[in-house]
Amino acid sequence: AHNDLFEAQSKYSEQAHAMTTATLKFRSIITNPKHSDEPKQQAKQKCHDVKKELHRIHNEYILKLKEANFADEQYVKSLKNFLVYHEDAQRILNNSWKKTLVTLADYTDSTRADYKAIISESHRIADTVEPKSCYFDFCIKNSSAKRVIKPENFNDTLIKTAGVDDLHENRIAADILTVEDLNNSSYAIHKDIFVHEQKIGNLQTKSGWQREVRFLLEEALRESGFVDAQTPDDCVTFPPIGLTNKLEDQPYFHGIIPRADAINELKNKGDFLVRNNEQSQCVLSILWTRSNDPTDSLEDRHFVINFNDNRYSFSNANVSKPSVKELIDYYLHSKEQLKTDGTKLLRPVERPGFIIDNDEISRRDTLGTGNFGEVMKAEYRNRNVAVKILHAPSVQFKSRKQIQEERSKFIREALMLSKYDHKNIVKFIGIAAMKDPIMIVMELVEIEVCVCSDLAARNCLVDKGENVKVADFGLSRCLENNEEYFPPLKEMPVRWWAPELFSH
């Protein structure tokens, strides 16, 4: 067991170094803009495979460690039991010999009066014994087996045919001719009994260890919320494995998005995502059937994830975990209900690719200010970009409702820009919405059936090739579905309006 433990520890050390190397390589490739998507995906898959093997070796090492400790404990326990058994056996044997010697001394004294009385009583009892029928009534009352009507009898013709007179029916022949064979058979049976008893002891020890392993595995699965059975109606889709337990690294975390936009991402029963609301609370949004609705229509539900005593949990729930990821994993794997009506997690909805981690943006110089905030020159993955930054919320000068409306408008502008790609529009790269401040990252933007309501010179840029590019979509309106991204403003730049706006 200790040799296996040393080997498992060596494997663990090698795999840990391999995990470090794979992670560094993945980060270097993912942050290098020269690499295409294919080597990034290969590096990510390689990192995933190495981490999966690391988890397997970790579990193997834990079991080997437990096995070595278990073997040591069993050795000490067996040795102690053997000594106790040996001491008890010797004490019993000594007492038996003492009683035997005392009894023998007493009964060999034939001069005692009670000796003759004992002999007479023994003869009387022996005379009353009827060997053929003494247990007949007992067997009739207590035996559950059927009585043998005609037992198999010894075939006496065999002895007669042999013509010998030293063999008898139903009696073992123990004589000079068979003594060696009988001794060998007796020794072999004694040896088999000893071997079987040793096997029984080993099997009992092995069974004890296997029960311990089963308990450890079941406890680990129970803590993680994994279950074996899954019904077709509740088929669970597991999210891709993140490199860390940080919420920002989980594909189902959508950052700071409005509630209405979060609902639009949910399509089917059991779809869910995690987001931060305007109060900086972590919220689980999920789509489920309405309670007591025979049509099984779907409705969105939102659960605040509480943080108390360094643990995360849902309200009125007994389950708490050290991280949001572990909490979501538990409810996803165990299929435990969030509400008594059966609401549970089935499929995580991955965030769109244009949502960027704020930590990947390095802000440089200020280029200007606007309605929502300021525009700055920044660096994103080794390339220069322009970022439009939303003003930090200030409760002192604005109500909470105003702050929420501004944030919602800002994010919806980014969602609209994500649809367009045109040589005369500043290209949209993404939106950094993992945390405050929210930033729109831009270079070029597409336009299809969108009219910019404020197509003034101040909102147009000219590049080195003298190409004009629209840079502000804060007053945009989509005419195809008559959908207005932002409510009408009281003061509008009428002189710069497109003619289509007057008819809509």
Token reading at 258 = 């409005």
Give me the chain's average pLDDT, please: 79
Q: Residue 320 is part of which domain span?
A: 232-348
Q: What CATH code is carried by the domain that includes residue 342?
A: 3.30.505.10
Q: How many CB atoms lie within 10 A of CB 408?
A: 17
Binding-site sequence positions for ATP = 388
Average pLDDT over residues 222-243: 58
Residue 440 and residue 478 in one domain: yes
Buried b (16+ CB within 10 A) or exposed e, 36-50: eeeeeeebbebbbeb
Domain assignment present for 69: yes
Residue 220 and residue 320 in one domain: no
Binding-site sequence positions = 388
Average pLDDT over residues 156-172: 72
What is the spatial distance between Cα 86 and Cα 78, in angstroms, rounded to a whole number? 12
User: Is residue 494 scored above 80 in pLDDT?
Assistant: no
Q: What CATH code is carried by the domain that includes residue 390?
A: 3.30.200.20
pLDDT at 408: 81
pLDDT tens digit string along 418-473?
888 888 778 899 999 888 889 999 884 333 334 444 456 556 666 666 677 766 64
Cis, peptide link before residue 348, omega less than 30° from 0: no
Domain assignment present for 328: yes
Which amino acid is present at 367? L
Tokens 């991204």 -> residue: 485
Residue 454 and residue 335 in one domain: no
The number of domains in the chain is 3
Rg over alpha carbons for the chain, rounded to the nearest Å, is 43
Q: Determine what percent of the chain is predicted with pLDDT higher than 70.
A: 77
pLDDT at 293: 82
User: Is residue 28 scored above 80 in pLDDT?
Assistant: yes
pLDDT at 447: 37
Q: How many residues does the chain have?
A: 504
Domain assignment present for 162: no
Question: What are the residues facing 190 on neighbouring strands?
Answer: none
pLDDT at 424: 79
pLDDT at 236: 59
Q: Give the three-state DSSP class for 327.
A: helix
Residue 238 and residue 342 in one domain: yes
Average pLDDT over residues 76-102: 87
pLDDT at 327: 94
What is the spatial distance between Cα 423 and Cα 421, in angstroms, rounded to a whole number? 7
Token reading at 143 = 């035996």
Lowest-confidence region among 264-268, 393-397, 408-412: 393-397
